[in-house]
Amino acid sequence: MRILYLLQDLPYPPTNGVRVKVFNVISYMAETHECHILSFGDKNLRSRAQEFQQKVPGIRILNFFPLCSGLKLQLSRLAHLMHGEPVFLARWDDKAFAKRVEEALGATRYDLVHLDALGVAPYVHLCQHIPTVISTTDAVSLAYKRAARASHCFLRKIYRLFASRSIARFERNILPLFSKVHVVSKPERNYLSSHVPGAAVECIEHVVPDEILRYPNRTSCFLSDNKRILFTGVLSSESIAPGLLAFLSIAYPVICQKCPDVEMTILGRNAPAKIKKKIINIPGIRFLEWAEDYCAELIKPEVIIFLDRSGTGVKTRVLYALGLGKAVVASPVALEGIEVRDGTHCFEREVGVGFAEAVISLLNNPELRKIMGQNAKRLIQDKYSMETTGPKWVKLYESAISKNLRKTMWSR
């Protein structure tokens, strides 16, 4: 296959869930297929593109474009708002990008065009008569709806509800135009299939990179008498920070009472000053805003906790912890879309005394940590590795091409 990728973000370095997904899919496809790329990006685009090209030599980056910003962005947002369109689309509304897409399609015969994320979805109108796949990763309107429910700020809640309705309308209009729509979990697939009946939605699981699965795990974390807990998450998020604060006020004191020698590390990016002050005033807690080697921090503790209260899609950081063979205790929201079994691969608990008891049982039982960690790693290897998901992407692309061919023959 010859595939043209239209990307919302240049996926290198693969530092977040969407970049990891795109980087791994393109790397896999480039081994046996011809992959061309047109992409947006936020900064250091030239050096990032060069590094991406060196890392995956089989790709051909046709061009890359900076995101719309400044006054132009504000005017574009206003125009989208007046037309009843999601305002976030303004950041990827670029005539130069559209022209380059048309040039690429005119110069080369592509078997398929993959558009990644809703930001570039409007460019599907340039891809008439060519099979198209869009990967939205998550159901975006559902994410905004849940974020609105989680918000404690009235104005922010109203804005997110408005945005959710606007995005839902956009999804209903745009997604049926694609041959196939991809999401990373069954809850997203079920939501979009119901919400956009005309869309051909399919689920392919998120990918855990091979370097995570091959990362050297120390058996000392299973056998050690240390009692170390790690929390990791973006603390500017209203779906994550409240869960951490609830844990610190309800569950953490119970853990400290039963395990006086417990040590806790909070690895939390973008912490608001108020939250950061609360954290650093709690005795026995080590606070980090950034880790040079993220995996090294995940390997150290005996137990890793995830406390998400809302959100959609699969949480990459949860998959990484499971893929490293760690003992995990997480809220149901943090585990949504991951096919784990409570008590086998991890403990699933709402934040409260039950959460504390699950953490304590793991801290006090090295054998349980070992068994649960091994089960978790095996699950990720079997279901969330590129070896498993790669063939699914090939099948998705081939089914999009077949669907488009049948549609073309029928129209004749």
pTM over 0.75: yes
**Which pLDDT value is given to residue 43?**
86
d(CA 265, CA 412): 64
According to DSSP, the β-strands at 303-306 and 327-330 are parallel
**Own/partner pairs for 168-173, CB < 8 Å, 24+ apart?**
168/141, 168/195, 169/84, 170/85, 170/86, 170/89, 170/118, 170/121, 171/118, 171/139, 171/140, 171/141, 171/195, 171/196, 171/199, 172/196, 172/198
DSSP string, 242-284: HHHHHIIIIIHHHHHHH-TT-EEEEEEET--HHHHHHHHTSTT
Q: Say how many C-beta atoms besides its own lie within 10 A of residue 53's C-beta.
A: 15
Of residues 406 and 83, the one with the higher pLDDT is 83
pLDDT class for 225, splitting at 50, 70, 90? confident
Given strand 303-306, what is the order of strands in its sheet? 285-288, 263-269, 228-234, 303-306, 327-330, 347-348
Inter-residue contact 238 to 410 (CB < 8 Å): no
C-alpha 253/C-alpha 246 separation (Å) is 11
The pLDDT > 90 percentage for the chain reads: 71
Identify the CA nearest to 252 among candidates 96, 359, 366, 148: 359
3-state secondary structure of 302: coil
Q: Determine the Cα angle at 146 with ends 140 and 149, to 5°.
A: 145
Mean pLDDT, range 294-321, rounded to an integer: 89
Alpha carbon distance 250, 244 (integer Å): 10
DSSP label at residue 175? G
Tens digit of each residue's pLDDT (9 = 90 or more) over 45-79: 999 999 999 999 999 999 999 999 999 999 999 99
Q: What are the structure tokens assigned to 111, written together?
A: 């078997």
Look at residue 219 and tell me whether its pLDDT is greater than 60.
no
Among 2, 4, 22, smallest CA distance to 12 is for: 22
Mean pLDDT of the 97-105 span:
97
pLDDT value for 66 = 96
pLDDT for 218 equals 58
Q: What's at 49, amino acid-wise?
A: A
Region 131-147: mean pLDDT is 91
Question: How far apart (Å, rounded) are the C-alpha atoms in residues 314 and 35?
Answer: 26
How many beta carbons lie within 10 A of that of residue 217, not counting itself?
Answer: 18
Region of poorest pLDDT, from 5-9, 29-33, 73-77, 155-159:
155-159
Mean pLDDT over all residues of the chain? 91
For the residues 155-173, what does the mean pLDDT come to? 91
